[in-house]
Chain A
Amino acid sequence: MQEALRFQPVDAEPVDHADIVVKARHLRRVAEGAARGLSLTIRGLRKAFGDNEVLRGIDLHIPAGQFVAIVGRSGCGKSTLLRLIAGLDAPTAGSIAFGEEPRAQDVRVMFQEPRLLPWARVLSNVEVGLGRQRSSADAQARAERALVEVGLGDKRGQWPSVLSGGQKQRVALARALVSQPRVLAFDEPLGALDALTRISMQQLLERVWRDQGFTAILVTHDVAEAVALADRVLVIEGGRIAEDVTIDLPRPRRRGSAELAALEGEILKHLLEGSEDTSDL
């Protein structure tokens, strides 16, 4: 609960001021060279585990820097798709191509569990995210910057076990961000958090995404979260993309607004109908 409150000042900034900050960040990003994100093209992607064919031909193009949310019923293959994109598993058939050949630190994943090393202090946990660059001279400074970015600058010397669930997940986010990835994949990163912490984390995700301009792929079971954050929502069903909904609403989006609720209702309706068809819920 405290976390939610701690984030309030960010939103409570005078509107015009916040606007200037966002614009400045955006300009900086543009100046740093075309979009930092990588585009992604998936063709005929299939994945089977033995006889169980989970993905049955996914075709998808994600433009650089887009925020895509993937929803679908439990067990429909969302995590499988994400793991294929992140290169953690190999597809049975099909291809995944990035706009440019990504370096190891360009694609990062964040899971529902923070997966922090309990025996490493918060700062060293973030340094893990630097991968091969861990031994560079500015490693510590970069890790510290990433921690400040997620609002945990004062927790650098703590053991992970003393942090709250939301704080742990923010450390995991800092670890994913520290190498300045160009594609960031999230597998239900907020699934284990309480409602208030979720909302503040969603705002944090949106902020770092706008700030850093990576391509974001968010798997979630929360349709409200998907429509609040994403440029585009993909519904997976029967191993294919059943629906591709563009969310063309200005940011920051007001939770509970009529447009969001309408979109959410539409997607939910689709999901529920799908479950009646296959009736294997």
Chain B
Amino acid sequence: MSLIDSLPRRKAFSSEVDAGSREENASEHKSGAPFRSHRNGNSSSAPKLPKVDGLIPWIVPLAIVLVWQLACVTGFVPSRVLPAPTDVALAGWKLLLSGELIRNIWVSFWRASIGFVIGGGIGFAFGLANGLSQLSAKLTDTTLQMVRNIPHLALIPLVILWFGIDESAKLFLVALGVFFPIYLNTLHGIRTVDPQLIEMGRIYGMTDGELFRRVIFPGALPSIFVGLRFALGIMWLTLIVAETIAASSGLGYMAMQAREFMLIDVVVLSILIYALLGKLADSASRALERLTLSWHPAFQKK
């Protein structure tokens, strides 16, 4: 993949690449193609070396791990500050054997999913309703836009007072965090569907149901995916914070426990697992995107 090949597309989509802190607003100040292309989207690279090409993204992470290991082994970085990758792996192995790791990952994963489904589901429903119905939009949109300006993590003290450190506290926070990016981008997607296509659908006698299924929903899908990806990021972020502050299980709790006992390798392990889970969620949404948006020029193999 040559640099020159990848330049123009990167530039064209650059407004979406820089993800600020309130990322869910992103779709409001961009109107064109509302999502970012894939790093491997342009397959103009040498066709003779597909395998090597697939490995290129892993060169830098591998090099970092290698340097990290070297720095620890030579004593350049004291193990109190940062344990060697091998120590982290060892700690992971021990926790895996004791079953603790799987249990905590499972708890976190469960919280993330349930919170995401609840918040995303409600956000999607409101996005649909407000995108399709003027009345619904008039009734609820202003209120939702006002609530949106409260950073959901600022609610943590209140949420602890309401729910204690119960499961529902974490689910509530995740759901709230996920709600807005999904809501805003679904709404934006529906509102920006080409009105000429909607008119075309009506001319050709589509019923409201068909119009939604064949024109409005597919038209809104790229934007919905933008919301989905932002929501996944916010989902993990919220969960980390919530589990670190108020939990008695889960990855964040595992990290906090380890801190109390000065088990720095477990702390680093937790962070790495968070990163891995985040990457997995992102890859899953990208795969889904590629599958459902195969019609889009940005996803077509040339």
CB within 8 Å of B: which residues of A? 86, 88, 104-105, 108-109, 111, 113, 115, 117-120, 128-129, 131-132, 159-162, 175
Residue from the list B197, B214, B297 in contact with A161, Cβ < 8 A = B297
Could you list 19 examples of A-B contacts with CB < 8 Å? A88-B199, A108-B203, A115-B196, A115-B197, A115-B199, A115-B200, A118-B295, A119-B218, A120-B214, A128-B200, A128-B204, A128-B206, A129-B204, A131-B205, A132-B205, A159-B294, A159-B300, A161-B300, A162-B300
- Name A128's closest neighbour in chain B (CB-CB): B204
Once bound together, how far apart are the Cα atoms of A118 and B219, in whole Å? 9
Q: Beyond A115-B197, A118-B296, A159-B300, is A88–B218 a contact (Cβ under 8 Å)? A: no
Within 8 A of A (CB), among B260-302: 293-297, 300
CB within 8 Å of A: which residues of B? 196-197, 199-201, 203-206, 214-215, 218-219, 221, 293-297, 300
Once bound together, how far apart are the Cα atoms of A147 and B166, in whole Å? 62
- Name B198's closest neighbour in chain A (CB-CB): A115
Most buried by A among B205, B214, B221: B205
Most buried by B among A88, A104, A105, A115: A115
Q: Beyond A113-B196, A161-B300, is A119–B295 a contact (Cβ under 8 Å)? A: yes
Once bound together, how far apart are the Cα atoms of A117 and B194, in whole Å? 10
Once bound together, how far apart are the Cα atoms of A119 and B193, in whole Å? 12
CB distance from B178 to the nearest CB of A (A): 26
Listed from nearest, the 7 A-B pairs whose CB atoms lie closest are A131-B205, A119-B218, A115-B200, A119-B295, A161-B297, A159-B295, A131-B204
Is the CB–CB distance between A111 and B204 below 8 Å?
no
- Name A86's closest neighbour in chain B (CB-CB): B203
CB distance from B203 to the nearest CB of A (A): 6
- Name B201's closest neighbour in chain A (CB-CB): A128
Q: Beyond A161-B297, A162-B300, is A117–B203 a contact (Cβ under 8 Å)? A: no
Cβ–Cβ < 8 Å partners of A108 in chain B: 203
CB distance from B263 to the nearest CB of A (A): 51
- Name A178's closest neighbour in chain B (CB-CB): B204
Once bound together, how far apart are the Cα atoms of A120 and B295, in whole Å? 7
Cβ–Cβ < 8 Å partners of B218 in chain A: 117, 119
Is the CB–CB distance between A109 and B203 below 8 Å?
yes
Cβ–Cβ < 8 Å partners of B215 in chain A: 117
Once bound together, how far apart are the Cα atoms of A158 and B200, in whole Å? 20
Cβ–Cβ < 8 Å partners of B296 in chain A: 118-119, 161
Once bound together, how far apart are the Cα atoms of A115 and B200, in whole Å? 7
- Name B298's closest neighbour in chain A (CB-CB): A161
Once bound together, how far apart are the Cα atoms of A162 and B295, in whole Å? 10
Once bound together, how far apart are the Cα atoms of A104 and B202, in whole Å? 11
Is the CB–CB distance between B196 and A111 below 8 Å?
yes
